[in-house]
Amino acid sequence: MNRYLKLVHMEVDRFKYILAGLMSLTLICQFGAVIWWTKSAVSNRESGAWNNGGSMAYSLNPSHNGNLSFTEVISNTQFLFMIPILISIGVLAIYVFLIWYRDWFGRNTFIYRLLTLPIARRHIYFAKLTAILLFIFGLVSFQLALIPVEKLIFNLIVPSDMRDPSYISNSIYANPALGMLIPWHFDSFLVYYVIGIIAVLVIFAAILIERSYGRLGILYAILYLGISAFLLLFPMVGLGLDNLNGYLYPNEIFAIELVMCVAVMAVSVWLGCRLISKKITV
C-alpha cells in the first residue's frame, strides 16, 4: 500500500507542471472574463449606453431592470469560460495515452524500471488510474472553488444598487460546459463520471494489449475498443432506451446497460492487471 501511494505520488509529480498550467489557464481566462465583462457592463450602465439597447440581456429580456447578475456574466462570457475547460478535457484525454506511452518512448524508457520494482505490477496499473482520476477530480474541484471567488470579484466590481441576486447553481447552468462538468443532479454526475472512468479503463486495457502483442496488438486493441463500444452502446441504441414501443421495458434495458457497464469495467481491469503481470514486453 505504501509503495502504491509512492507510485501515485510519483505519477502526480510528473504531471504537476501541466496540471498547474491548466489550472492557471482556467483561472486567468475566467477571472479575466469576469473582470473585463463586468467592468465594461458597469461602465455602460454608468454612461447610459444600456438605455440605448447596449445590453444583450436587455435585448433578450425586455423586462430586464438594468441590474447585473453573476449569472448574466457567465452567460455573456461563454467562450472564455468554456475554452480552458475544453482544453483541460483535451489534455487529460491525451494524457490517458501518454501516462503509459511516455514510459516506453524517448531516450530513457522508465518502464524497464517500473516493471522491475519489487512490487506487484498491478500497483503500477492502479497508480496510473488513480493519478488520472486525481487529475480529473482535482480540476473539477478547482473549477468549483473558482466560481465563488469569481462571484466575489463580481460583487466587488458591481455597486450593490446595480446588482441582482443570483444563485451559484443557476450561474453554473448558464454555461453548457460548466453544466456538463458539474451536473444539476447527483445521478447525472454519477452517470457522466462513471462513463468517463469506463472509457479510461477500456483505453488502458487497449494500450496494454497493444504493448503486449506488438504489431498484431494494434489490431487486437482496436478490436477490443470496438467490442467494448458496441457492448456499451447496444442497449441504448439497439434496444432503444428512449423507445416506448420497444420489445423490452425501459427498466429492463437500463438493467442490461448496467450489466454491460459492470462487465466491461471488470473485464478491462482484469485484462489490464493480467497483461501487465504476465504478457507485457518492453
Partner 1 sequence: MIEVVDIHKRYRGRSVLNGASFTVEKGQITCLIGINGAGKSTILKAIMGLTPLKSGTIRIDGQPMDKNLYESIAFIPDHLTMPPGMKLSEGLRFMQDFYQSWNANRAEELMKFFSLDQTERIGNLSRGTAAKFNLVLGLAQDTEYVLMDEPFSGIDMFSRGLIAEVFSSHLIEDRGVLLTTHEIGEVEHLIDRALLMKDGAICRDFQCEQIRSEEGKSIVDVMREVYQA
Site residues (CB under 8 A) for partner 1?
3, 6, 10, 14, 106-113, 115-121, 214-215, 278-282
For residue 115, the minimal CB distance to partner 1 (Å) is: 6
For residue 142, the minimal CB distance to partner 1 (Å) is: 23
Q: Among residues 185 and 215, whose Cβ is nearest to partner 1?
A: 215
For residue 69, the minimal CB distance to partner 1 (Å) is: 45
Q: Among residues 47 and 281, whose Cβ is nearest to partner 1?
A: 281
Reduced 3-state DSSP string for 129-193:
HHHHHHHHHHHHHHHHHHHHHHHHHHHHHCCHHHECCCCHHHHHCCCHHHHHHCCCCHHHHHHHH
**Helices within 48-121 (DSSP H only):** 56-60, 70-76, 78-104, 111-115
**Nearest of 76, 199, 86, 77 to residue 143 by alpha carbon:** 86
For residue 184, the minimal CB distance to partner 1 (Å) is: 41
Q: Give CA–CA dist 91/57, Å, rounded.
A: 34
Exposed (0-12), middle (13-18) or buried (19+): which is 196, by Cβ within 10 Å?
middle
Q: Among residues 111 and 157, whose Cβ is nearest to partner 1?
A: 111
For residue 100, the minimal CB distance to partner 1 (Å) is: 14
Q: Roughly what angle, to the nearest 10 degrees, separates helices 122-157 and 250-274?
A: 120
For residue 126, the minimal CB distance to partner 1 (Å) is: 15
Q: Among residues 163 and 274, whose Cβ is nearest to partner 1?
A: 274
Measured in whole angstroms, the distance separating CA 65 from the mean position of its chain's CA atoms is 37
